[in-house]
Amino acid sequence: MPVSFLDTLGEAVTRRLAARSSRRGMLGRMGAAMAVAPAFPLLPVRRADAAPAPTPNPAATLTDFERRAQSTDPTKCTYWRHCAIDGVLCGCCGGGVHTCPPGTEPSPVSWIGTCRNPDDGRSYVIAYRDCCGRNICAAPKSCGCNTADREMPIYRPQASNDIIWCFGTASTAYHCSTAAIIGQAG
């Protein structure tokens, strides 16, 4: 019974994908999906990865975050790459926007967001990798962010920012969060 359901689901997703997406958009999304694919070894989840993601908004309909986003201070929640980050910024903890603080370890998998750079107006795929292996960083409250552009519930884990992504690290202790660019969004 479950197998037939999964087949049905897979077919439905594939058909929807074919009906709705361009080839270039598909490539972009596939790239994004590949970034997190190691995290989801089970077929149904991979198929869900390939499902149409919410597309970046054109400039005319920016989100509140995008309208206020800045590109100069990565230790602030308003920094453009932090459009959907939930946690303490590693830049406030001895690390940087893609650098883990000393003594910690980056999570090999992560979830991804899509954020708009106000400098060039382009949207980029961001990997929100956690730094793990030490207890939570005691940074000022202003370094604790909880933004949610295009953020989804945990049953869409590849777009969910509540998950502590310290999978595959020596310890699951969460220390802080980074926001590394993976590439331009499709």
Partner 1 sequence: MVNWNRKAARRAAMAALLLAPAGLARAAPPVLQAEQSDVATLPAVGAHWVLPATDRDAYTIYDADAGRILGTLPASILGNIALSPDRRTFYVADTIWSRVDHGTRQDLIQEYDAHTLALRREITLPPRALAVYKGQDFDVSPDGRWGYVFDMSPATSVTIVDLSKGAVARTVDIPGCALVFPWKQNGFSSLCGDGSLTNVGYAGGDTPTVTHTAPFFDANNDPIFEQGLVDRATGHALFVSYTGKVYAATLGQKPAIAAPWSIQAAAGQPVAGTGVQEQAWRPGGKQPFAWNRASGHLFVLMHVGTYWTHKTDGTEIWELDPARHALVRRIDLPMPARGIAVSGDAAPLLYATSQDGTMIVIDARTGAVRRTVEAHAQSMIVAPDLPAGNG
- Residue 157 CA to residue 39 CA, distance in Å, equals 9
SS3 77: coil
Q: Please report where in the chains the tokens 């499902």 appear, as a residue.
A: 51
Nearer to partner 1, 2 or 72 (CB): 2
Query: Sheet holding 123-128: strands in order across?
Result: 111-116, 123-128, 180-184
Nearer to partner 1, 48 or 90 (CB): 48
Phi-psi bin for 121: left (phi > 0), alpha (psi -120 to 50), beta?
left
Task: Flag whether 162 is marked binding.
Answer: yes
Selected binder of partner 1 within 128, 157, 176, 180 (CB under 8 A): 157
Query: Please, are residues 93 and 159 in contact by the beta-carbon 8 Å criterion?
Result: no
DSSP strands (E only) in the chain = 86-88, 105-106, 111-116, 123-128, 130-132, 144-146, 174-177, 180-184
Q: Is 130 a catalytic residue?
A: yes
Selected binder of partner 1 within 25, 31, 37, 44 (CB under 8 A): 44
Rule CB under 8 A: is residue 2 a binding residue for partner 1? yes
- Residue 53 CA to residue 47 CA, distance in Å, equals 12
Nearer to partner 1, 13 or 182 (CB): 13
Q: Is 111 a catalytic residue?
A: yes
Task: Flag whether 135 is marked binding.
Answer: no
Catalytic residue chosen out of the listed positions 49, 80, 130, 165: 130
Q: Which of residues 86-125 bind partner 1 (CB under 8 A)?
A: 86, 109
- Residue 35 CA to residue 105 CA, distance in Å, equals 18
Selected binder of partner 1 within 30, 37, 139, 164 (CB under 8 A): 164
Bind-site residues for substrate: 86, 161-163
Footprint of partner 1 (CB under 8 A): 1-2, 5-6, 9, 12-13, 39-45, 48, 51-52, 54, 57, 61-65, 86, 109, 133-136, 146-157, 162-165, 167, 170-174
